[in-house]
Amino acid sequence: MRERHVERTRDVRVTLDGTPVLGRRTGIGRYTARLAQALAEFPSTRVRLLGLTTRGWRALRTNAPAGTTACGPPLPARLLRSCWSLAEFPPVELLCPGADVVHGTNLVQPPAARAAGVLTVHDLDFVDAADAAGAGPNPRGFVRSLHRAAVVCTPTRAVAERLTARFDVDPDRVVVTPLGVDGAWFHAAPPDAALRGRYGLPPDYLLFVGQPGPRKGLSTLVQALDPDLPPLVLAGPPPTEAPPTGSGPRSTGYLPEEELRRVVAGARALVLPSRDEGFGLPALEAMAAGTPVVCSDIPALREVTGGHALLAPYGDSSALRSALHRAVSSEGDHGMAAARRHAAEFTWRRCATETLRAYRLALTSR
């Protein structure tokens, strides 16, 4: 009876944690912004982004995705998150009243007095990192957020299965919400001479996109390179540690999205040699741009690439080298037409539709 009532209700008022949207938008920031915009396109949703602190709220007022509004308190974000990791105060209604659903977009689920809670868990690498550092299996506040949320969203079935097994989460509380590929990726053109000159791009190059870190497998990638392969370019923040070779890969630094699309479109192959990924959006975006993909043979990347990438076991530099040589060979088109069709199946509207399903499920459980 409750479910039928929810389906008849026209408007769902949603408050999303807008913190990832502030500043330079990394993967989670792009997810939050694109999801908010896609949700706002449904007549049945009213979307607000919660900006913690006055500065965050003001920034969201000018930079919030189309169709959304901003709300937020003049309070220190660290103080709020510290309170939320230990207790159920203050409830989100005191900061941004009137929500039916409050969505924690990046691991932190704000407590609520009445609103239904939905939490997105992008991956569980942070848990493994905490284990390796001796910080215990449950990082502070995360388990509390898991218990606080009525429904948990994950970008892949791979993350959902790990989450349910490791934290004993009821599978019926988990909804898979695959990310989307912006349509502009399908029309991306390789960089022209001016863009190549700006970033010192060689005529041919392999490309890694993302934030370098221990799980990204860059050391294995550098070991896999040989003189017959194009040089490596890193698009994103430079590595914090020097690579194990004297001249190391070239780094462009952070790229605006339009320029990133062109740099990806001009690469001989995009390489994602990660130990762990929650989704692997750069792989799909590269497919959309017509660029071959080489990545680790791990569950999430197998799921997302759908048989359209060249796979190598994580940490195996010899297998990765062989895959890279196949990717840059001139024999055939590497199935890129099929890869582009596969990437086209992933849209932000689909992500929003599945997320709305999570909201409906959360509302029925109140």
Query: Residue 76 in contact with residue 55, Cβ under 8 Å?
Result: no
Q: What homologous superfamily does CATH list for 2-180+347-364?
A: Glycogen Phosphorylase B; (3.40.50.2000)
Q: What is the pLDDT of residue 137?
A: 44
Beta bridge partners of 46: 13
Q: Give the C-alpha separation, 293 to 360, whole Å.
A: 36
Count CA atoms closer than 13 A to 50's CA, side-chain side: 28
- Say if 2-180+347-364 and 183-344 have the same CATH topology: yes
Beta bridge partners of 50: 17, 71
Residues of the chain with pLDDT below 50 are 1-9, 133-137, 242-246
Query: Residue 155 in contact with residue 279, Cβ under 8 Å?
Result: yes
Residue type present at position 56: G
Q: Where are the domains of the chain?
A: 2-180+347-364, 183-344
- Residue 173 phi/psi, 5-degree rounding, is -90, 0
Q: Give the C-alpha separation, 136 to 292, whole Å.
A: 39
Q: What is the pLDDT of residue 6?
A: 40
Q: Give the C-alpha separation, 284 to 139, whole Å.
A: 30
Q: Are strands 174-176 and 206-209 parallel, antiparallel or unpaired?
A: unpaired
Q: In 174-304, where do the E strands start and end? A: 174-176, 206-209, 232-235, 250-253, 269-272, 293-296
Q: What is the pLDDT of residue 167?
A: 92
Q: What is the pLDDT of residue 9?
A: 45
Of 278, 276, 265, the C-alpha closest to 336 is 265
Name the DSSP letter for residue 242: -
Count CA atoms closer than 13 A to 243's CA, side-chain side: 23
For residue 97 the two structure tokens come to 């009243």
For residue 291 the two structure tokens come to 């660029």
For residue 128 the two structure tokens come to 């493994």
Query: Residue 356 in contact with residue 183, Cβ under 8 Å?
Result: no
**Which 3 state secondary structure label does DSSP give 195?**
helix
Cα separations in angstroms, 60 against 16, 22, 36, 73, 147 = 12, 7, 12, 12, 28
Of 330, 263, 268, 332, the C-alpha closest to 294 is 268
Q: What is the pLDDT of residue 239?
A: 64
H runs (alpha helix) in the chain = 2-8, 27-40, 54-63, 77-86, 125-132, 142-148, 157-167, 193-199, 218-224, 257-265, 281-288, 299-305, 317-328, 336-344, 348-364
Instruction: Please tell us whether the domain made up of 183-344 is placed in CATH 3.40.50.150.
Output: no
Q: What is the pLDDT of residue 136?
A: 46
Q: Give the C-alpha separation, 205 to 266, whole Å.
A: 8
Of 68, 67, 62, 87, the C-alpha closest to 17 is 68
- CA torsion, points 241, 25, 124, 244, in degrees to nearest 10? -20
